Amino acid sequence: MKKKMLTALLGLFTAALWAQDDQSESPKPIDERKHELRLDAIEALAIPNIEINYEYVLSRYSGVGAAINIGLEDSFNEYQAFALTPFYRQYFFNKKEYGARGFFVEGMLQFAFGKEEFTEEFAGIPDREVPGFITTDESWFNTGIGIAVGQKWVSNNGFVFELSIGGGRYLLSPDFGPEGFFRGGLLVGYRF
């Protein structure tokens, strides 16, 4: 199921990147494009997770958007199965007319759930002196707040490259799950 979901998401992302207008018009100038889709290449290759980001350009100095992160492997002790991260970005030192590029600071919220695996020792079976271990999985949900910084480059034809790093702290205090989260990576995408 996870492989089918990954294939469908990658297909949707690729179709959005390569979709062209059927008419013979030239593409919109870069300063009129307001939508961006980006894929985090580091997470897709290293963890393995898939993270898709959407950003709407509000002005040359700001943008809003959301990221969806889907975990594809549950072999980690604190497994995050899904996260939704809405964000707001403020861009600085921007001298290009089309904006929403360059150095940025991002404020974000995160809503995530997953499961945590832990092992407990118990006294063992009666009439035996050997203790035993039991492994259990506990589900968790949390919401957090965080900040990130980064640099984004946008080419004149709309391709986007971004480096960012940040994180945050979860606000709820459940018995299970991580206390904080990381956000960042190397993202590639397209502005349309």
Q: List the pLDDT tens digit at each of the 192 positions of the chain.
A: 556 555 655 665 565 555 544 444 667 888 899 999 999 998 888 877 899 999 999 998 999 999 999 988 776 656 789 999 999 999 998 777 678 899 999 999 999 999 887 777 766 555 555 566 777 788 899 999 999 999 999 998 999 999 999 999 999 987 778 899 999 999 999 999
The reported pLDDT for the residue numbered 184 is 92
C-alpha dist (Å) from residue 87 to 24, 62, 106, 123, 191? 36, 11, 7, 48, 17
3-state SS record for the chain: CHHHHHHHHHHHHHHHHHCCCCCCCCCCCHHHCCEEEEEEHHHHHHCCEEEEEEEEEEECCEEEEEEEEEECCCCCCEEEEEEEEEEEEEEECCCCCCCCCEEEEEEEEEEEEEEEEEEEEECCCCCCCCCEEEEEEEEEEEEEEEEEEEEEEECCCCEEEEEEEEEEEECCCCCCCCCEEEEEEEEEEEEC
pTM metric for this prediction: 0.78
The reported pLDDT for the residue numbered 24 is 47
Domain range list for the chain: 2-11+31-114+140-191
- 145 C-beta neighbours (distance < 10 Å), count: 13
CATH number of 2-11+31-114+140-191: 2.40.160.20
